[in-house]
Structure formats: C-alpha cells, structure tokens
Chains A and B, each alone.
Chain A
Amino acid sequence: MSRLDETFARLRARGERALVPYFTAGDPSLADTRRLVVEAARRGADVVELGVPFSDPLADGPVIQRAGTRALAAGASVPRVLETVAVLRAEVDVPLVLLTYYNPVLAFGLKAFARTAVDAGVDGAIVVDMPPEESEPLATEATAAGLDLVYMVAPTSTPPRVRLIAKKSRGFIYVVSLTGVTGERQELPADMTAQIGAIRRATAMPVCVGFGISTPAQVAAVGRVADGAAVGSAIVRLVEARAGASSLVDDVGKFIAELKAPLREPLPTSPIRTRR
C-alpha cells in the first residue's frame, strides 16, 4: 500500500476528507517551500502538491504562471525540487505529489525521474499534459519505481475516458472541476456533483477536486461530494502577497487550517461507496 493509499484509507476510517494544498516549488525560494510544506502538514494538509515550474504552463491561469516565473528565476528545476523533497521527507510524513508538465520530466529522463523521485520521498506525480494515451513510457518507469501516477478527469471527459483514467490512475483521481485553467472562481460549477457521481460509478478510487476552489465554503461544498479538495491559486496568491515577510509561513499555515476545518466535520453518510 502506497503512502497515498494509506492516507486516504485513514481519512476514510475517520470520516474525514483530504485537504490537498498546492505550492509552486521555489516560490519565492526552495527554502521557503520547505518551510511552507512543513507548516502545511502541521496545520492539516493531508497531501501536498508541489508544482515543478515549466516555462510554458498552458493549463495555468495568471497566478500560478507568475509563481512559475518567480520559481524559475529562483533556480527551481526537476533536480533542485527533488533535492528539496529529499530534505523535506526527513521532516514530514505527508504524501508529496509533484505536479508538472511533460517536457521537464522528459529532459530529466523518464527512468531517472521515476527512480530519483521515489528515492527522494515523492509519492506521486501528475503530468498535466500527459493524457493516458501518451503515458506508457513514463507509466512503465513509474510502476517499476513505485511512483503513483495520478491522472486528471475533466468535465469534457467521455464515459469511456473516465473508465480509462480510473483504470490508469494510482493513489487518487484528480477531478478538474471546470473547463478552464487554474485560478480562483466566485462559484463552484453547477454540474460538479453530477460529474463526481459519474466518476463514482466508474471507480471506488478516492477522488479529489481541484481548479477554482479557493475558500473554506467552497472546500466544504467539495467535501460533501468528494474525498478531497485541492486548493492552488488562493494559496499561491497568499504566498505572493507575503513573500519576504516574516509572517509568510504563519499566515499560510492559518489559511491551511481554515481550509481544512470543514473537511474534519463528519458527514451524515460516507461519501465513499465501499465495495463489500
């Protein structure tokens, strides 16, 4: 059982849902990322996503684009992020999932990436522009190394695609809640519950919802239908606002705690349809 599997099983047993915060690694520096992840874990993060910056992040909105630019300027790269994770792994038990694009992984080498990531203590990876159809070369290496590849389901995914993704994904399924790029939105998509229902019918695997989720109220709404909520841009925007300030880590930690609070409340019925 991987660390991701254990985490979701433990939360499920407790009737809790996962908070999955996102940080762009290296924003504003890799040392700050380390402190932020340690604090996030302490304040209730159940899984942490670490973005490895790419020069051309076509699935990201302006907030995460800017963070990527800062992180690249600060020298973040696949090898530097993996070094940071290796240090972090001695400090936290929280599962760490890298979120990146295919080209930096390819440039590092698919086999080297899978092995080095696992050796450093990375639990999973999401490659935003690698759909299941293009995944075989990396998936082969990830399976051999014991790295969970997490795939995304989108609102445009057809039922056969949902089944394909459910079959390929390890750890959990990342549900993209809306057609669009990352970034905060006022409202949650109206069809989110139906979308998650369709995924539930295809798989018993945990589902985490991301894109456009930024407030405790939105997290609470997601927590009523999914196993976890991923929050990116709202956290990254706070990091951007507090970068260089002594309150950076504490302010981000407080926000993580606020986001986690609604996910601790037990639901009237379990969101998970367990197989008997």
Chain B
Amino acid sequence: MKPALPDARGHFGRFGGRFVPETLMAPLIELEQAWASARRDRKFQRRLADLLRDYAGRPTPLYFAERLSEQCGGARIYLKREDLCHTGAHKINNVLGQALLAARMSKRRVIAETGAGQHGVATATAAALLGLECEVYMGAEDVERQALNVFRMRLLGARVISVESGSRTLKDAINEALRDWVTNVRTTYYLLGSALGPHPYPMMVRDLHSVIGREARRQTRGVLKKLPDVLVACVGGGSNAIGLFHPFIADRRVRIIGVEPGGEGISTGRHGASMSAGAVGVLHGCMSYLLQSDDGQIATAHSISAGLDYPGVGPEHAYYRDAGRFEFVSVTDAEALEGFEALTRLEGIMPALESAHAVAYAMRLAKSLPRTKAIVVGLSGRGDKDVHVVAKALGKQIG
C-alpha cells in the first residue's frame, strides 16, 4: 500500500507544496485544518450531498454517444455529462463544497479567479445561494472573449474585476486574487477553482470533484459490467480531469489520458501544453510543470479555449505523469473545433471548447481501438459560452 497523497506538507512526490509569502502560511494551515474537520463532519457532508443532488443536479448521466462512436468506427465513446450540472460545468462541485466551508469558517467574503468564466459563474452562484459577498478576478482578455459569463456573474450579484497586468488571462487573474487574499486574508475566503495552488487547494479541489469519477465508476459497472478501458479529459489546471481520474488510479487496467491545449501547434510555441513542452517550476504556490523561459520567467499560454489558457498544471497530474500512471497528449485549436462540430452535429450536444479537446482526442483514439473497448470522456462543460468564439473561428456571423 502506498501512503496517501499528498503528504502532510502537501507534497505529491516532488510536486505541490506551499510556496507562498509568509502572510499566507498561517491562513493556509487554518484552511487545511478547517477542511479536515469539515470532511469528518457528517452534517457538513450531508448538506453538501443534498446540494449536489437537489441544486447542482447530480448524479450526472453517463451517456453513450452512439452516433459519434459509429462515425469513428471503433471504440464506444461514453460522455460523463458534467455539462448538465447547474451553471453548465463541473466547476459547481468544488464551489459548493468550498462555499460551505467559507461559511463554516465565518468568512463572509469570497474571492475567485476565472478563465473561461465558468468557475466565476459557479462561485457567484454559490455566493448568491449562501448570501456571501463575491468578487471575481478575470483577465482583461478573457473578459472580452467571455462577455456572456461576465454578465451572468454580474446578474448573480458578483463584482467582476478585469485584470490588466501580464498576459491579461487566467494566470494574471490568479496573481491578482492572491494579492487580494494577502491583503484581506482575515476576512476573506479564496475560493480557488482549479486543482493547483498551495496546499490544501489541490487536495481539496480533487476531493470535491472526485464525485465525478466515483459516479462514473458506478455507472460504467452498471452499464458495461466492467470498468472503462480509457478515461479522457481535458487538462488546463486539471480540476475536471483529476475529479474523473482519481477514483480510477488504483485500477491499473484503466488507461488515463489528459488532453492539453495544443493551441496553434506545439512547434509554433503558441500553446498551453505544459506537460508536453514545460519544465518543473514553481508558480501560484505549487511545484509542477510550467511553460517558462530558461531564466524561469513564466511564459504566456495560448489556446482557443479560455479555460485551458494556463501555463501550468496541477501538481497531482505532474506526479502521476512522472509515475507513468497518467498519459498526456495535446489537441490543437483546429482539432478542438472539429470535435465541437462533430459532437454538436452527431449528438446534439454542444460542448465547451475546453471539453471539445477531450472529445477530439477520444475520436482520434476510438478509431484505433476495437468496438469492444469503452472510452469515458469527461464532458466538463457546455458550449453556449463559446458560440461567438466558434463563429469567429469558422469565419461566420451570429445572426
């Protein structure tokens, strides 16, 4: 039996940890203790389970994409339908848990970062539900390309702060959220939305999203009478992926594949594939694979999908990559668009551009596998928010 990860200091092997200014150390230790206590509290767990069922709409279906599978002519493709969650993406799983924790810790103000806006919308939603004050940091570039989600957050009562520094994307939104937290740490809960950051965030976010994989495990056993052969999920920071993957890690027969944003192609340098083209470093409180220069300056990621536009990846993914348990591949912007169109036309399901990366890779993989094999794709979100990006990429006008 291997000891559970992370270790007591939040390390996944050499990855993870707590690389933050001293001001945040005591609050992070307090957060870790609060989470440990909440996990043991049956009342807290029941409240979370009730919200996940009655409010978020869990369990989400495992759907056999028959026409998509036929089109590929190989393995059967199943979709874990996180796009059907309330607010349109898996993000709500984590947010409900952490928002309950914030209230339990008597923090009345929550802050969050967001890339595509899905985590911001989910946080604003939970804040409305629990009567918390909410401010969301969002890169100025993302504010432009995800205008719909910005307006949704405002309707929900959140304040959206456009971040003009650096690359004006998710990375800079996290910097700014951390600066806010350093300043207001005594009154504010930082509701981090991805499986990264300083300990305990990668562990806590994983724990809260693992419901995806636990359900998928039960559902595949019911439908297939066996475990799936392959799991595929997109990886930006890696929250939906670790949620789907984690309950299957001990099942050595199940192949686990993370799909990174290949942007315009790895060779162009304009991508977000930190596993394929990055080096080990420290950003936003944890050690992991990062896109960076030889001098240790963080590079700018590029992806058609705002939610994958991040130059790093969660530390647990880095650990299982080096351990040989997770495989990582990349899919370009163009391939992701093909995945988007295929799923929309063949199944009537419009995926988020993030999730379209996983769909595109699953289609590629299915072609190379026999019909007896089953692939489960983490369909992390729905695509309404991306329609204008898709229209632009296809050279079409809306309306």
Contacts and interface: CB of A to CB of B under 8 A. Distances in A.
Interface of A: 54-59, 61, 65, 72, 77-79, 101-108, 128-131, 133-134, 151-158, 161, 165, 176, 179-181
Contact of B283 (A59, A103, A157, A161): A103
Contacts of B24: 156
B281 interface: yes
A43 B22 CA distance: 32
B17 A181 contact: no
Contacts of A108: 295-296
* Secondary structure class of chain B's binding surface, majority of residues: mixed
Contact of A181 (B20, B182, B295, B297): B182
Interface of B: 9, 17-27, 165-166, 171-172, 175, 178-179, 182-186, 279-285, 290, 292-298
24 contacts: A58-B178, A59-B179, A65-B165, A79-B295, A102-B19, A103-B283, A103-B290, A104-B295, A105-B296, A106-B282, A107-B281, A107-B292, A129-B21, A131-B18, A154-B25, A154-B26, A156-B186, A157-B22, A157-B26, A158-B26, A161-B26, A180-B182, A181-B179, A181-B182
Given A77-B297, A104-B297, 20 more contacts: A56-B283, A58-B175, A59-B23, A59-B182, A101-B282, A103-B290, A106-B280, A107-B294, A108-B295, A128-B21, A133-B9, A133-B17, A134-B18, A156-B25, A156-B26, A156-B185, A156-B186, A157-B26, A165-B22, A179-B182
A253 B25 CA distance: 37
B282 A156 contact: no
A65 B166 CA distance: 9
B19 A78 contact: no
Nearest to A129: B19
B298 A56 contact: yes
Contacts of A130: 19
A50 to B, nearest CB: 16
B21 A72 contact: no
Contact of B281 (A106, A128, A131, A151): A106
A128 B22 CA distance: 8
A181 B216 CA distance: 43
Contacts of B26: 154, 156-158, 161
Contacts of B171: 56
Nearest to B21: A59
B284 A58 contact: yes
